[in-house]
Structure 1
Amino acid sequence: MITLKSEGLTLFKPQAVDNVAGHYFDTGISAGFPAPAEDFKGQRLSLDEALVKNKDTTFYAKVSGQSMIGAGLDDNDLLVIDRSLEPTNNKIAVCFLDGEFTVKRLRVSQDEVWLQPENPNYPIIRITEDNNFLIWGIVTNVIKKV
């Protein structure tokens, strides 16, 4: 496992384990009235297969902080990040900015790049030539604890 730690994120390289899958109920689970239990057809579901499109370029990272709560990214959530995806306007990206990792929404217009938090208590960051900046990967999924 590769672990990269920064003040904002801890990154982990996924390590696939063969023949590990949880039960999956393809009928859906009602969030309204209870569904009849006899209709459940248990299948196996691998989260690696469901969440990871490119094994060699996918990493996991734990969120640290509150700057993206408006996008549903809470402290200690686990992000699935694909480094092979094209960074485009409005994508949520993990970026390396001036020696630290951060996760923000990309705002790209003409020759400007901005990193927009999803919490009004945090400032929008304008990227300039003075910044040491790299778009490290694009967030594809979020895994939450309840």
Structure 2
Amino acid sequence: MRVTKIEGEVALQPLAIPLYLSRVAAGFPSPADDYIEESIDLNKHVIKRPAATYFARANGDSMTGMGIFDGDLLVVDRSKTAVTGSVVIAVMNGELVCKVLDKERRLLRSANSRYPALAVLDDVECSIEGVVTHALRYLDVRAG
């Protein structure tokens, strides 16, 4: 999966949006509660370290097994330590990729069995650009 890094300063303007007390049924519907538990600021919820955070746009389907789909907006934290199992943004031979890190085997793995792992060999230029902390998806429902 290729990613496009979105440059620019992350502006953290507080934005309180209602968070409902009851969870939304994704199976059988239940009566809705009219109670708002609190307000939630997505900046505080999604961005822990603003100075170390950037966004990237996912491109492709190699990470669908991790719930990352083509077009998703990825929140990436440069200050987090990447460990085996982390979803990372890496630069490999000059190209940004989103993969699962396997430090012990020196691999960047896809989360889709149709794609092979990428070996990080001594002659391969590779650097970790950050750990993906969230994938935000726009759901576009089009009638007819």
Cα distance in 1 for partners of 2:33, 2:118 equals: 53
Paired residue for 1:48?
Answer: 43
Stretches of structure 2 lacking an aligned partner (at least 5 in a row): 140-144
Q: Are 2:23 and 1:28 aligned?
A: yes
Q: In structure 2, how many angstroms separate the alpha carbons of the residues matched to 1:95 and 1:27? A: 39
Aligned-residue CA RMSD in angstroms?
Answer: 1.9
Who is 1:126 aligned against? 119
Residues 1:24 and 1:115: Cα distance change in structure 2 (over 3 Å): same
Q: Cα distance, 1:129 vs. partner?
A: 1.2
Deviations 1:84-118 (A, max 9, x none): 01110111100000010000000111xx4100001
Contact 1:8 1:102 in 2 (8 A): yes
Counterpart of 2:87, as a letter, is I
Aligned partner letter, 2:2: G
- The structure 2 residue matched to 1:103, chosen from 89, 93, 98, is 98
Cα pair 1:58 1:82 within 8 Å, conserved: yes
Aligned sequence identity (%):
29
How far residue 31 of structure 1 moved from its aligned partner, in angstroms, is 2.3
Deviations 1:27-72 (A, max 9, x none): 2222234344344225321111111111110111110011111111
Provide the rounded CA distance (Å) in 2 between the counterparts of 1:94 and 1:101: 7
Q: Count how many residue pairs are aligned between Structure 1 and Structure 2.
A: 138
Q: Residue 37 of structure 1 aligns to a residue in which SS?
A: coil
Equivalent position to 1:143, from 117, 127, 136: 136
User: What residue is the counterpart of 2:108 in the other structure?
Assistant: 115
Gaps of 5+ in 1: 1-6
Q: Secondary structure at the match of 1:9?
A: strand
Runs of 4+ aligned residues of structure 1 deviating over 4 Å after TM superposition are none
Shift of the 38–108 alpha-carbon distance from structure 1 to 2, 3 Å rule, reads closer
What TM-score do the two structures reach when normalised by structure 2? Answer: 0.86
